[in-house]
Chain A
Protein backbone atom coordinates (compact mmCIF):
# COMPACT_ATOMS: atom_id res chain seq x y z
CA UNK A 1 0.00 0.00 0.00
CA UNK A 2 1.22 3.47 -0.76
CA UNK A 3 1.06 6.34 1.68
CA UNK A 4 1.54 8.98 -1.00
CA UNK A 5 -2.03 10.22 -0.88
CA UNK A 6 -2.07 10.40 2.92
CA UNK A 7 0.46 13.16 3.39
CA UNK A 8 0.81 15.56 0.47
CA UNK A 9 3.54 18.00 1.42
CA UNK A 10 3.67 21.03 -0.81
CA UNK A 11 6.17 23.64 -1.88
CA UNK A 12 4.88 26.93 -3.17
CA UNK A 13 6.75 29.05 -5.71
CA UNK A 14 5.63 32.45 -6.91
CA UNK A 15 6.75 32.61 -10.56
CA UNK A 16 5.48 36.03 -11.64
CA UNK A 17 2.14 36.08 -9.97
CA UNK A 18 0.36 39.32 -9.10
CA UNK A 19 0.31 37.91 -5.51
CA UNK A 20 -3.43 37.24 -5.73
CA UNK A 21 -2.92 33.52 -6.14
CA UNK A 22 -0.14 33.42 -3.53
CA UNK A 23 -2.44 34.84 -0.92
CA UNK A 24 -5.02 32.21 -1.82
CA UNK A 25 -2.41 29.44 -1.52
CA UNK A 26 -1.56 30.64 1.98
CA UNK A 27 -5.25 31.10 2.80
CA UNK A 28 -5.73 27.44 1.95
CA UNK A 29 -3.37 26.55 4.79
CA UNK A 30 -4.90 29.02 7.26
CA UNK A 31 -7.62 28.16 9.79
CA UNK A 32 -10.50 29.03 7.43
CA UNK A 33 -9.77 26.22 5.00
CA UNK A 34 -7.23 24.26 7.07
CA UNK A 35 -5.66 22.06 4.41
CA UNK A 36 -3.69 20.34 7.17
CA UNK A 37 -6.85 18.29 7.72
CA UNK A 38 -5.70 16.33 4.69
CA UNK A 39 -2.10 16.21 5.84
CA UNK A 40 -0.98 19.14 3.70
CA UNK A 41 2.15 20.84 5.03
CA UNK A 42 3.83 23.81 3.42
CA UNK A 43 7.43 22.64 3.53
CA UNK A 44 9.23 25.49 1.79
CA UNK A 45 11.85 22.95 0.70
CA UNK A 46 11.80 21.07 -2.63
CA UNK A 47 13.58 18.07 -1.11
CA UNK A 48 10.77 17.54 1.40
CA UNK A 49 7.86 18.24 -0.92
CA UNK A 50 5.62 15.99 -2.99
CA UNK A 51 3.53 18.60 -4.75
CA UNK A 52 4.85 21.71 -6.47
CA UNK A 53 2.39 24.61 -6.42
CA UNK A 54 3.33 27.26 -8.98
CA UNK A 55 1.49 30.55 -9.20
CA UNK A 56 1.97 33.08 -11.98
CA UNK A 57 3.28 32.79 -15.50
CA UNK A 58 6.68 31.71 -16.75
CA UNK A 59 9.14 34.27 -18.07
CA UNK A 60 12.72 33.93 -19.19
CA UNK A 61 13.99 34.96 -15.76
CA UNK A 62 12.15 32.41 -13.67
CA UNK A 63 12.04 29.44 -16.03
CA UNK A 64 15.41 28.27 -14.64
CA UNK A 65 14.19 28.58 -11.07
CA UNK A 66 11.05 26.55 -11.76
CA UNK A 67 13.10 23.83 -13.44
CA UNK A 68 15.68 23.85 -10.65
CA UNK A 69 13.00 23.33 -7.99
CA UNK A 70 11.32 20.64 -10.07
CA UNK A 71 14.56 18.74 -10.59
CA UNK A 72 15.38 18.84 -6.88
CA UNK A 73 12.11 17.23 -5.83
CA UNK A 74 12.40 13.49 -5.18
CA UNK A 75 10.06 11.09 -6.95
CA UNK A 76 7.09 10.68 -6.90
CA UNK A 77 6.17 14.30 -7.45
CA UNK A 78 3.27 16.22 -8.93
CA UNK A 79 2.95 19.76 -10.25
CA UNK A 80 -0.12 21.97 -9.87
CA UNK A 81 -0.49 25.14 -11.92
CA UNK A 82 -2.42 27.47 -9.60
CA UNK A 83 -4.48 30.19 -11.25
CA UNK A 84 -5.05 31.27 -14.83
CA UNK A 85 -1.58 32.81 -15.14
CA UNK A 86 0.08 29.55 -14.22
CA UNK A 87 -2.27 27.58 -16.46
CA UNK A 88 -1.64 29.54 -19.65
CA UNK A 89 -0.38 33.04 -19.00
CA UNK A 90 -3.65 34.62 -17.94
CA UNK A 91 -3.90 38.37 -18.15
CA UNK A 92 -0.17 38.57 -18.74
CA UNK A 93 -0.14 36.16 -21.69
CA UNK A 94 0.83 38.77 -24.29
CA UNK A 95 3.37 40.70 -22.23
CA UNK A 96 6.70 40.99 -24.05
CA UNK A 97 8.56 38.97 -21.41
CA UNK A 98 6.01 36.24 -20.70
CA UNK A 99 6.58 32.80 -22.20
CA UNK A 100 3.27 31.32 -21.05
CA UNK A 101 1.91 28.87 -18.51
CA UNK A 102 3.99 26.66 -16.24
CA UNK A 103 3.65 23.78 -18.71
CA UNK A 104 6.12 25.60 -20.94
CA UNK A 105 8.82 24.99 -18.32
CA UNK A 106 8.00 21.65 -16.67
CA UNK A 107 5.34 18.93 -17.10
CA UNK A 108 2.17 19.96 -15.24
CA UNK A 109 -0.18 17.33 -13.76
CA UNK A 110 -3.13 19.37 -12.51
CA UNK A 111 -4.46 22.73 -13.67
CA UNK A 112 -6.36 24.75 -11.07
CA UNK A 113 -8.08 27.64 -12.87
CA UNK A 114 -9.34 30.89 -11.37
CA UNK A 115 -8.24 34.46 -11.08
CA UNK A 116 -7.39 34.28 -8.28
CA UNK A 117 -7.58 30.52 -7.72
CA UNK A 118 -10.09 29.75 -4.98
CA UNK A 119 -8.92 27.77 -1.95
CA UNK A 120 -11.69 25.24 -2.69
CA UNK A 121 -10.28 24.77 -6.19
CA UNK A 122 -6.82 24.42 -4.74
CA UNK A 123 -7.85 21.76 -2.22
CA UNK A 124 -9.61 19.98 -5.08
CA UNK A 125 -6.43 20.17 -7.16
CA UNK A 126 -4.35 18.76 -4.30
CA UNK A 127 -6.76 15.82 -3.97
CA UNK A 128 -6.41 15.25 -7.72
CA UNK A 129 -2.63 15.46 -7.40
CA UNK A 130 -2.73 12.75 -4.73
CA UNK A 131 -4.07 10.35 -7.37
CA UNK A 132 -1.26 11.39 -9.69
CA UNK A 133 1.23 10.74 -6.90
CA UNK A 134 -0.18 7.23 -6.43
CA UNK A 135 0.18 6.53 -10.15
CA UNK A 136 3.70 7.89 -10.21
CA UNK A 137 4.60 5.81 -7.20
CA UNK A 138 3.53 2.67 -9.06
CA UNK A 139 5.53 3.81 -12.07
CA UNK A 140 8.54 4.54 -9.86
CA UNK A 141 8.44 0.99 -8.50
CA UNK A 142 8.68 -0.23 -12.10
CA UNK A 143 11.81 1.85 -12.51
CA UNK A 144 10.37 4.83 -14.36
CA UNK A 145 11.64 8.26 -13.44
CA UNK A 146 10.41 11.72 -14.30
CA UNK A 147 12.72 13.47 -16.78
CA UNK A 148 15.38 15.77 -15.41
CA UNK A 149 14.87 18.98 -17.33
CA UNK A 150 18.08 20.89 -18.06
CA UNK A 151 17.79 24.51 -16.99
CA UNK A 152 18.48 25.80 -20.51
CA UNK A 153 16.34 23.22 -22.31
CA UNK A 154 14.06 24.67 -25.00
CA UNK A 155 10.59 25.81 -24.01
CA UNK A 156 8.18 22.86 -23.86
CA UNK A 157 5.20 22.58 -26.17
CA UNK A 158 1.97 24.00 -24.74
CA UNK A 159 0.06 21.44 -22.68
CA UNK A 160 2.80 18.82 -23.16
Chain B
Protein backbone atom coordinates (compact mmCIF):
# COMPACT_ATOMS: atom_id res chain seq x y z
CA UNK B 1 0.00 0.00 0.00
CA UNK B 2 2.75 2.45 0.96
CA UNK B 3 4.59 1.78 -2.31
CA UNK B 4 1.37 2.49 -4.16
CA UNK B 5 0.90 5.81 -2.37
CA UNK B 6 4.57 6.67 -2.90
CA UNK B 7 4.21 5.94 -6.62
CA UNK B 8 1.09 8.06 -6.95
CA UNK B 9 2.64 10.99 -5.07
CA UNK B 10 5.88 10.53 -7.02
CA UNK B 11 4.01 10.52 -10.32
CA UNK B 12 2.11 13.70 -9.46
CA UNK B 13 5.34 15.46 -8.48
CA UNK B 14 7.05 14.13 -11.61
CA UNK B 15 4.16 15.32 -13.79
CA UNK B 16 4.63 18.84 -12.44
CA UNK B 17 8.41 19.05 -12.19
CA UNK B 18 9.71 16.93 -15.08
CA UNK B 19 8.26 19.13 -17.85
CA UNK B 20 9.81 22.19 -16.21
CA UNK B 21 13.24 20.58 -15.85
CA UNK B 22 12.96 18.94 -19.28
CA UNK B 23 12.01 22.23 -20.91
CA UNK B 24 14.98 23.94 -19.30
CA UNK B 25 17.32 21.16 -20.42
CA UNK B 26 15.92 21.38 -23.95
CA UNK B 27 16.51 25.14 -24.03
CA UNK B 28 20.03 24.60 -22.75
CA UNK B 29 20.58 21.92 -25.38
CA UNK B 30 19.56 24.27 -28.20
CA UNK B 31 21.68 27.08 -26.80
CA UNK B 32 24.78 24.90 -26.42
CA UNK B 33 24.22 23.26 -29.83
CA UNK B 34 23.97 26.69 -31.42
CA UNK B 35 27.22 27.68 -29.71
CA UNK B 36 28.94 24.58 -31.04
CA UNK B 37 27.74 25.46 -34.55
CA UNK B 38 28.92 29.06 -34.30
CA UNK B 39 25.42 30.50 -34.00
CA UNK B 40 23.78 32.68 -31.39
CA UNK B 41 20.85 30.32 -31.02
CA UNK B 42 17.36 30.81 -29.64
CA UNK B 43 16.47 32.12 -26.18
CA UNK B 44 16.49 29.69 -23.27
CA UNK B 45 12.69 29.92 -23.14
CA UNK B 46 12.25 28.91 -26.78
CA UNK B 47 11.08 25.30 -26.17
CA UNK B 48 8.44 26.61 -23.74
CA UNK B 49 7.19 29.13 -26.30
CA UNK B 50 7.13 26.43 -28.96
CA UNK B 51 4.92 24.18 -26.87
CA UNK B 52 2.61 27.02 -25.82
CA UNK B 53 2.23 27.96 -29.47
CA UNK B 54 1.48 24.37 -30.47
CA UNK B 55 -1.20 24.23 -27.78
CA UNK B 56 -2.83 27.31 -29.30
CA UNK B 57 -2.86 25.95 -32.84
CA UNK B 58 -5.91 24.51 -34.51
CA UNK B 59 -6.78 20.92 -33.58
CA UNK B 60 -6.29 18.90 -36.71
CA UNK B 61 -6.06 15.16 -36.55
CA UNK B 62 -6.48 12.38 -39.08
CA UNK B 63 -8.36 10.23 -36.58
CA UNK B 64 -9.57 10.35 -32.99
CA UNK B 65 -7.47 7.49 -31.66
CA UNK B 66 -4.10 9.17 -32.30
CA UNK B 67 -4.62 11.69 -29.49
CA UNK B 68 -5.67 8.92 -27.10
CA UNK B 69 -2.53 6.92 -27.80
CA UNK B 70 -0.36 9.98 -27.22
CA UNK B 71 -2.19 10.72 -23.96
CA UNK B 72 -1.53 7.11 -22.86
CA UNK B 73 2.13 7.41 -23.82
CA UNK B 74 2.43 10.57 -21.75
CA UNK B 75 0.58 8.98 -18.83
CA UNK B 76 2.84 5.94 -18.70
CA UNK B 77 5.98 8.06 -19.08
CA UNK B 78 4.85 10.02 -16.04
CA UNK B 79 4.10 6.83 -14.09
CA UNK B 80 7.55 5.48 -15.01
CA UNK B 81 9.12 8.73 -13.82
CA UNK B 82 7.06 8.62 -10.62
CA UNK B 83 8.16 5.04 -9.97
CA UNK B 84 11.81 5.89 -10.45
CA UNK B 85 12.01 9.17 -8.57
CA UNK B 86 9.93 7.93 -5.64
CA UNK B 87 12.59 5.25 -5.16
CA UNK B 88 10.44 2.47 -6.56
CA UNK B 89 11.20 -0.60 -8.61
CA UNK B 90 13.66 0.06 -11.45
CA UNK B 91 12.68 -3.02 -13.45
CA UNK B 92 9.03 -1.97 -13.40
CA UNK B 93 10.10 1.53 -14.43
CA UNK B 94 11.91 0.20 -17.52
CA UNK B 95 8.87 -1.86 -18.51
CA UNK B 96 6.43 1.02 -18.03
CA UNK B 97 8.56 3.41 -20.09
CA UNK B 98 8.72 0.79 -22.85
CA UNK B 99 4.92 0.61 -22.74
CA UNK B 100 4.91 4.38 -23.21
CA UNK B 101 7.17 4.01 -26.28
CA UNK B 102 4.83 1.38 -27.69
CA UNK B 103 1.85 3.70 -27.36
CA UNK B 104 3.83 6.37 -29.19
CA UNK B 105 4.59 3.91 -32.00
CA UNK B 106 0.93 2.84 -32.14
CA UNK B 107 -0.10 6.48 -32.45
CA UNK B 108 2.13 6.88 -35.49
CA UNK B 109 0.94 3.63 -37.08
CA UNK B 110 -2.72 4.54 -36.49
CA UNK B 111 -2.46 7.49 -38.88
CA UNK B 112 -1.71 5.17 -41.83
CA UNK B 113 0.47 7.80 -43.46
CA UNK B 114 3.46 6.32 -45.29
CA UNK B 115 5.90 8.78 -43.72
CA UNK B 116 4.57 8.20 -40.23
CA UNK B 117 4.75 4.46 -40.80
CA UNK B 118 8.38 4.67 -41.87
CA UNK B 119 9.03 6.74 -38.75
CA UNK B 120 7.17 4.24 -36.58
CA UNK B 121 9.09 1.32 -38.09
CA UNK B 122 12.33 3.14 -37.35
CA UNK B 123 11.21 3.89 -33.81
CA UNK B 124 10.46 0.19 -33.34
CA UNK B 125 14.01 -0.59 -34.45
CA UNK B 126 15.29 1.91 -31.92
CA UNK B 127 13.35 0.18 -29.14
CA UNK B 128 14.74 -3.14 -30.36
CA UNK B 129 18.26 -1.71 -30.29
CA UNK B 130 18.27 -0.30 -26.78
CA UNK B 131 16.04 -2.72 -24.92
CA UNK B 132 18.66 -5.47 -24.29
CA UNK B 133 20.99 -2.98 -22.62
CA UNK B 134 18.15 -1.66 -20.46
CA UNK B 135 17.41 -5.19 -19.23
CA UNK B 136 21.14 -5.77 -18.57
CA UNK B 137 21.17 -2.57 -16.54
CA UNK B 138 18.30 -3.81 -14.38
CA UNK B 139 19.93 -7.24 -13.95
CA UNK B 140 23.29 -5.69 -13.14
CA UNK B 141 21.67 -3.38 -10.61
CA UNK B 142 20.05 -6.34 -8.86
CA UNK B 143 23.28 -8.32 -8.77
CA UNK B 144 25.25 -5.44 -7.30
CA UNK B 145 22.69 -3.89 -4.97
CA UNK B 146 20.59 -6.95 -4.22
CA UNK B 147 17.43 -5.01 -4.93
CA UNK B 148 15.54 -3.45 -7.80
CA UNK B 149 14.44 -0.59 -5.54
CA UNK B 150 16.07 2.71 -6.39
CA UNK B 151 15.65 3.78 -2.75
CA UNK B 152 17.80 0.78 -1.77
CA UNK B 153 20.79 2.40 -3.50
CA UNK B 154 21.08 4.88 -0.64
CA UNK B 155 22.00 2.00 1.70
CA UNK B 156 25.04 0.96 -0.30
CA UNK B 157 28.62 1.59 0.78
CA UNK B 158 29.88 1.90 -2.79
CA UNK B 159 27.81 3.30 -5.66
CA UNK B 160 26.77 1.05 -8.55
CA UNK B 161 29.47 2.53 -10.78
CA UNK B 162 32.24 0.80 -8.78
CA UNK B 163 31.18 -2.70 -9.79
CA UNK B 164 29.05 -1.79 -12.78
CA UNK B 165 31.07 0.67 -14.85
CA UNK B 166 30.93 -1.46 -18.03
CA UNK B 167 27.14 -1.49 -17.72
CA UNK B 168 27.22 2.27 -17.21
CA UNK B 169 29.22 2.67 -20.43
CA UNK B 170 26.71 0.47 -22.23
CA UNK B 171 23.87 2.58 -20.85
CA UNK B 172 25.66 5.72 -22.07
CA UNK B 173 25.78 4.22 -25.55
CA UNK B 174 22.05 3.55 -25.73
CA UNK B 175 21.29 6.86 -24.02
CA UNK B 176 22.13 8.51 -27.33
CA UNK B 177 19.37 6.46 -28.93
CA UNK B 178 16.93 7.14 -26.11
CA UNK B 179 17.51 10.89 -26.12
CA UNK B 180 17.00 10.86 -29.91
CA UNK B 181 20.40 12.30 -30.62
CA UNK B 182 22.43 12.03 -33.79
CA UNK B 183 23.89 9.56 -34.96
CA UNK B 184 20.88 7.55 -33.78
CA UNK B 185 18.03 9.98 -34.43
CA UNK B 186 16.71 7.80 -37.21
CA UNK B 187 13.01 8.06 -36.36
CA UNK B 188 12.93 11.77 -35.66
CA UNK B 189 15.36 14.61 -35.80
CA UNK B 190 14.78 18.13 -34.63
CA UNK B 191 17.18 19.87 -36.95
CA UNK B 192 16.65 21.36 -40.36
CA UNK B 193 17.13 18.12 -42.24
CA UNK B 194 14.68 17.75 -45.04
CA UNK B 195 14.64 13.97 -45.20
CA UNK B 196 12.08 12.32 -42.90
CA UNK B 197 12.17 15.19 -40.42
CA UNK B 198 10.39 13.99 -37.31
CA UNK B 199 9.21 10.98 -39.31
CA UNK B 200 7.24 9.46 -36.48
CA UNK B 201 5.33 12.67 -35.78
CA UNK B 202 4.51 13.39 -39.43
CA UNK B 203 0.74 13.36 -38.90
CA UNK B 204 0.72 14.92 -35.45
CA UNK B 205 0.07 18.63 -35.23
CA UNK B 206 -0.89 21.36 -32.81
CA UNK B 207 -1.83 20.21 -29.29
CA UNK B 208 -0.96 16.57 -30.01
CA UNK B 209 2.54 17.56 -31.08
CA UNK B 210 2.82 19.68 -27.93
CA UNK B 211 2.04 16.57 -25.87
CA UNK B 212 4.71 14.64 -27.77
CA UNK B 213 7.18 17.37 -26.90
CA UNK B 214 6.25 17.19 -23.20
CA UNK B 215 6.55 13.40 -23.43
CA UNK B 216 10.12 13.77 -24.68
CA UNK B 217 10.96 16.16 -21.87
CA UNK B 218 9.67 13.67 -19.28
CA UNK B 219 11.60 10.85 -20.95
CA UNK B 220 14.80 12.89 -20.96
CA UNK B 221 14.50 13.66 -17.26
CA UNK B 222 13.87 10.00 -16.50
CA UNK B 223 16.79 8.71 -18.60
CA UNK B 224 19.18 11.21 -17.08
CA UNK B 225 17.98 9.93 -13.71
CA UNK B 226 18.98 6.43 -14.80
CA UNK B 227 22.55 7.59 -15.37
CA UNK B 228 22.58 9.49 -12.08
CA UNK B 229 21.46 6.33 -10.27
CA UNK B 230 24.90 4.81 -10.81
CA UNK B 231 26.50 7.36 -8.48
CA UNK B 232 24.15 7.02 -5.51
CA UNK B 233 25.36 5.61 -2.22
CA UNK B 234 24.83 6.23 1.49
CA UNK B 235 24.99 9.89 2.43
CA UNK B 236 23.49 12.97 0.78
CA UNK B 237 26.82 13.94 -0.81
CA UNK B 238 26.31 11.19 -3.38
CA UNK B 239 23.29 13.08 -4.71
CA UNK B 240 25.50 16.04 -5.59
CA UNK B 241 28.04 13.74 -7.24
CA UNK B 242 25.20 12.18 -9.23
CA UNK B 243 23.95 15.60 -10.37
CA UNK B 244 27.43 16.62 -11.51
CA UNK B 245 27.81 13.44 -13.53
CA UNK B 246 24.34 13.82 -15.02
CA UNK B 247 25.30 17.33 -16.19
CA UNK B 248 28.51 15.94 -17.70
CA UNK B 249 26.63 13.13 -19.45
CA UNK B 250 24.13 15.59 -20.89
CA UNK B 251 26.89 17.79 -22.21
CA UNK B 252 28.58 14.74 -23.73
CA UNK B 253 25.33 13.80 -25.47
CA UNK B 254 24.98 17.29 -26.95
CA UNK B 255 28.57 17.11 -28.14
CA UNK B 256 27.97 13.73 -29.76
CA UNK B 257 24.76 15.05 -31.33
CA UNK B 258 26.66 17.88 -32.98
CA UNK B 259 29.61 15.87 -34.19
CA UNK B 260 28.26 12.74 -35.76
CA UNK B 261 26.24 12.19 -38.90
CA UNK B 262 23.20 9.96 -38.73
CA UNK B 263 23.83 6.25 -39.28
CA UNK B 264 21.67 3.65 -40.99
CA UNK B 265 19.46 1.49 -38.80
CA UNK B 266 21.54 -1.61 -39.52
CA UNK B 267 24.60 0.03 -38.00
CA UNK B 268 22.62 1.22 -34.99
CA UNK B 269 21.11 -2.20 -34.30
CA UNK B 270 24.42 -3.99 -34.74
CA UNK B 271 26.41 -1.69 -32.49
CA UNK B 272 23.76 -1.34 -29.83
CA UNK B 273 23.59 -5.12 -29.48
CA UNK B 274 27.37 -5.60 -29.63
CA UNK B 275 27.87 -2.99 -26.93
CA UNK B 276 25.06 -4.49 -24.84
CA UNK B 277 26.43 -8.01 -25.12
CA UNK B 278 30.04 -7.06 -24.48
CA UNK B 279 29.56 -4.44 -21.76
CA UNK B 280 26.47 -5.91 -20.15
CA UNK B 281 27.34 -9.57 -20.69
CA UNK B 282 30.91 -9.42 -19.38
CA UNK B 283 29.93 -7.26 -16.43
CA UNK B 284 27.15 -9.63 -15.43
CA UNK B 285 29.36 -12.70 -15.93
CA UNK B 286 32.04 -11.21 -13.70
CA UNK B 287 29.46 -10.33 -11.07
CA UNK B 288 28.01 -13.82 -11.23
CA UNK B 289 31.27 -15.77 -10.99
CA UNK B 290 33.64 -13.46 -9.13
Is A159's beta carbon under 8 Å from chain B? no
Most buried by B among A26, A41, A43: A41
Give A1-38 interface residues, CB cut-off 8 Å to B.
2-4, 6-7, 9, 26, 29, 31, 34, 36-38
Which of B12-20, B47-55, B134-142, B168-176 sits within the interface? B47-55
A157: shortest Cβ distance to chain B, in Å? 27
In B11-35, the 8 Å CB interface with A consists of: 30, 34
Q: For window 69-93 of chain A, which residues contact chain B by CB distance below 8 Å?
A: 74-76
- Determine if B94 is an interface residue (Cβ-Cβ < 8 Å): no
* Interface-lining segment among A44-52, A53-61, A106-114: A44-52
Number of A interface residues in the complex (CB < 8 A): 27
Q: Does A140 contact B (CB under 8 A)?
A: yes
Does B56 lie at the interface of the complex (its beta carbon under 8 Å from any beta carbon of A)? Answer: yes
Q: List, in ascending order, chain B residues with CB within 8 A of A48's CB.
A: 198, 201, 205, 209
Q: Which B residues are in CB contact (< 8 Å) with A137?
A: 56
Q: Do B49 and A7 have beta carbons less than 8 Å apart? A: yes
Partner of A36, one of B34, B49, B52, B59: B34
What distance in Å separates the Cβ of A153 from its nearest Cβ neighbour in chain B? 21
Query: Quick check: is B37 within 8 A (CB to CB) of the other chain?
Result: yes
B188-213 contact mask (Cβ, 8 Å, vs A): 1 or 0: 00101110011001111110010000
Give Cα A50–Cα B60 distance, bound, in whole angstroms.
Answer: 13
Q: Which of B27-80 contact A (CB under 8 A)?
A: 30, 34, 37-43, 46, 49-50, 52-53, 56-60
The answer to whether A45 touches B202, judged by C-beta atoms less than 8 angstroms apart, is yes
Neighbouring A residues of B42 by C-beta, 8 Å = 36-39
Q: Judging by beta carbons under 8 Å apart, are B49 and A34 in contact?
A: no
Q: Is B202 touching A74 in the complex (CB atoms < 8 A)?
A: no
How many positions in chain B have a CB within 8 Å of any CB in the partner chain?
Answer: 32
Q: Is the CB of A140 within 8 A of B58?
A: yes
Interface string of B65-102 (1 = CB under 8 A from A): 00000000000000000000000000000000000000
Q: Find B58's partner among A26, A42, A45, A75 (CB 8 Å cutoff).
A: A75
Q: Smallest CB–CB gap between B42 and chain A, Å?
A: 5
Candidate in B34, B43, B58 with the most chain A CB atoms within 10 angstroms: B58
| CB-CB nearest in chain A for B55 | A3
Q: A7-B50, A42-B192, A44-B197 are in contact. Are A34 and B39 (CB under 8 A)?
A: yes
CB distance from A21 to the nearest CB of B (A): 16
**What is the CA–CA distance of A85 and B51 in the complex, to the nearest angstrom?**
34
| A residues in contact with B30, CB < 8 Å | 36
Provide the residues of chain B in CB contact with A45, threshold 8 Å: 197-198, 201-202
Cβ contact of A4, chosen from B39, B46, B56, B209, cutoff 8 A? B56
Q: How far is the CA of A50 from the CA of B197 in the complex (A)?
A: 16
Q: Are B41 and A39 in contact (CB under 8 A)?
A: no
Q: Measured between C-beta atoms, what is the minimum distance from A120 to chain B in Å?
A: 16
Q: How far is the CA of A141 from the CA of B201 in the complex (A)?
A: 26
Are A47 and B202 in contact, CB atoms less than 8 angstroms apart?
yes
Using Cβ atoms and an 8 Å threshold, which residues of chain B touch A43?
197-198
Of all chain A residues, the one with the shortest Cβ separation from B52 is A3
> Could you tell me which B residues sit within 8 Å of A by CB distance?
30, 34, 37-43, 46, 49-50, 52-53, 56-60, 190, 192-194, 197-198, 201-206, 209
Q: List 17 A-B contacts (CB under 8 A).
A: A3-B52, A6-B53, A34-B34, A34-B40, A37-B39, A39-B46, A39-B49, A41-B50, A43-B197, A43-B198, A44-B193, A44-B194, A47-B204, A48-B198, A50-B53, A50-B57, A75-B57
Task: Give me the 6 closest cross-chain CB pairs, A-B, nearest first.
Answer: A6-B49, A47-B205, A42-B192, A44-B197, A75-B58, A3-B53
